[in-house]
Chains A and B, each alone.
Chain A
């Protein structure tokens, strides 16, 4: 059984640029959630994808968008990067109907915006 894989592990971008982060869900999981974890803080829910559609969203602006593919993998896209977007971005996979009970988190992508 494979876990959740995220790529890249680290990334440096310039303010105003766009970034795409990738996540492969754990085998057997069909739902992917994305969280932002600022330094010294707990993760904050960005959104969740199920059946290739957004299935819930936290308090993040529209420049944060995502995709889910037929193989359940997912992308997080952030446009017009701001300095405050610097954070660890975590992907969590789970089974529909048990989403909040069965999160498996990846190790995250550390994004630095300069």
Chain B
């Protein structure tokens, strides 16, 4: 099955700086790559996603890039704010009904 690795496990940045989280996947047939944000006591919330026919996607301060050849994708958050502090999960999927998640990155934005 699919194996998704995520790095780093923890990340601290100063407010206003950028944060980058990287993931690799093993199944070359995976074609959908979402990113979720999970705040304390809440379920994961989809923040951005990308499909395999696209190399990059941006939504305001958040962007995701995908390198299908290398089988890795990354989340970029610019101009970080304290409310960006949370655990972020990448995921990969090749089938219609399930996602394979990474182990998460705890992002702390220091005011």
Contact = CB atoms under 8 A, between A and B. Distances in A.
A99 interface: yes
A55 B4 CA distance: 23
B97 A105 contact: no
A32 B91 CA distance: 18
B89 interface: yes
Contact of B43 (A4, A44, A45, A55): A4
Contact of B103 (A42, A58, A92, A97): A42
Interface string B20-53: 0000000000001010100001111110010000
Contacts of A106: 43
B58 to A, nearest CB: 18
B91 A99 contact: no
Contacts of B102: 42
Task: Tell me what chain A mostly uses at the interface: helix, strand, loop, or mixed.
Answer: loop
Range of interface residues on A (Cβ < 8 Å): 20 to 34
Contacts of A103: 44, 46, 99
Interface of A: 4, 31, 33, 40-45, 48, 55-56, 58-59, 90, 92, 97, 99-101, 103, 105-108
Closest 9 CB pairs of A and B: A42-B101, A105-B43, A45-B98, A56-B97, A48-B97, A100-B93, A105-B44, A107-B43, A99-B97
30 contacts: A4-B43, A31-B97, A33-B97, A40-B103, A42-B4, A42-B89, A42-B102, A43-B44, A43-B89, A43-B99, A43-B101, A45-B98, A45-B100, A48-B97, A56-B98, A90-B44, A99-B96, A100-B32, A100-B93, A100-B95, A101-B32, A101-B49, A103-B44, A103-B46, A103-B99, A105-B36, A105-B43, A106-B43, A107-B43, A108-B43
